[in-house]
Amino acid sequence: MLENLKSEILLESGTNELELMEFTVAGQHFGINVAKVNEIIKYGLFPITPMPNSNPFVEGVFKPRDEIMTVVNLASYMGLPPSEDEEKDILIITTFNKVHTAFHVHNVEAIQRISWTLIEKPDAAIYGGEEGLATGIAKLEDRLITMVDFEKIIVDISPSSGIQISDLDNLGHRNKVSKPVLMAEDSPMLERLLLESLEKAGYVNVTCCHNGLEAWQKLVEAKKSGKPIEEQVSIVITDIEMPQMDGHRLLKQIREDPEMRKLPVIVFSSLITEEMYEKGKKLGATAQITKPEIASLVHLIDTHIL
């Protein structure tokens, strides 16, 4: 079913584009990056077994193939009205952070290729900041599409699946490091957790940007200052999915700039699939690691700048 909707044009590396799957819940339009989607199947095609004492937004589990998956009811989670006709509903099967999850939605509209420049950062006051679910707002024709922070949903339902700052306890005593770190991360929740984790690991000079474009602008400012770029930015840590400019485009521009090209760039993302890994490798990523492995990220930073 998913293959029938997908564009036949393969996305090249670093073009700052994504394939956006538009879906609806209670008549409202939302979006998810197709890179996170394994397949879509009709709701009710496989029996869903409720689990005792589970999260109230979890309908239960089912086994469409060889793996048991959790089913999350998005309408319930978002506080929206339930489906009027479940026979028409859809399950979006996703994989990110090495976790497979099925999200119950009311309809899948289409998949289209768009530029990240068409996706704007949401206003924190309107969309809830760290408590909100919007990582971006896309305007397509006559409607607004909210890009949903699926990683936050998973962490809310299963906190142990997110970044665990306590994982850094095993690193032992850490000295403070003043070398400048530049980070691009669009999720307010993950930005906070990353900042707290890096500070615990001793990195006290971290500049946060909400997308790749902000990070690129910081790098350009540093370049214009006349000081060696490595004195102002020792390493770049970037997500892949971000409004305005994604991590792959940021990486591409860094590698094409004569003064920046030797900067270490670590891709820290929930989207390190085999395909995404090859794209990052082709673009020149120094290292790539899957969220939420924070201790491994700190080890990589240590390796490349200490």
Q: In the predicted model, is pLDDT for residue 127 greater than 70?
A: no
Tens-place pLDDT, residues 54-84: 899 999 999 988 888 999 999 999 999 999 9
CB 216, CB 182: distance < 8 Å: no
Rounded percentage of the chain residues whose pLDDT exceeds 70: 93
Amino acid sitting at position 71: V
Average pLDDT, rounded, for the chain? 88
Q: In the predicted model, is pLDDT for residue 109 greater than 70?
A: yes
Tens-place pLDDT, residues 220-265: 999 999 899 989 999 999 999 999 999 999 999 999 999 999 999 9
Residues of the chain with CATH 3.40.50.2300: 163-305
As a whole number of Å, the end-to-end CA separation of the chain is 49
Q: In the predicted model, is pLDDT for residue 9 greater than 70?
A: no
DSSP H or E segment with residue 209:
strand 206-209
| Residues paired with 94 in a beta bridge | 37, 101
Residues of the chain with CATH 2.40.50.180: 2-159
Q: Find out whether the peptide bond into 228 is cis, omega within 30 degrees of 0.
A: no
pLDDT band at 5 (very low <50, low <70, confident <90, very high): very low
Strands 99-105 and 28-33: unpaired
pTM for this prediction: 0.84
Coarse DSSP helix, strand, coil percentages of the chain, rounded to the nearest 5 percent: 35, 30, 35
Region 131-159: mean pLDDT is 86
Both tokens of residue 123? 């206003």
Tens-place pLDDT, residues 19-30: 999 999 999 999
**Architecture of domain 2-159 in this structure:** Beta Barrel (2.40)
Which pLDDT does position 125 carry in this prediction? 65
CA distance 234 to 263: 7
CB 23, CB 9: distance < 8 Å: no
Residue keyed to tokens 């080890």? 299
163-305: CATH homologous superfamily? Response regulator (3.40.50.2300)
DSSP H or E segment with residue 224:
helix 212-224
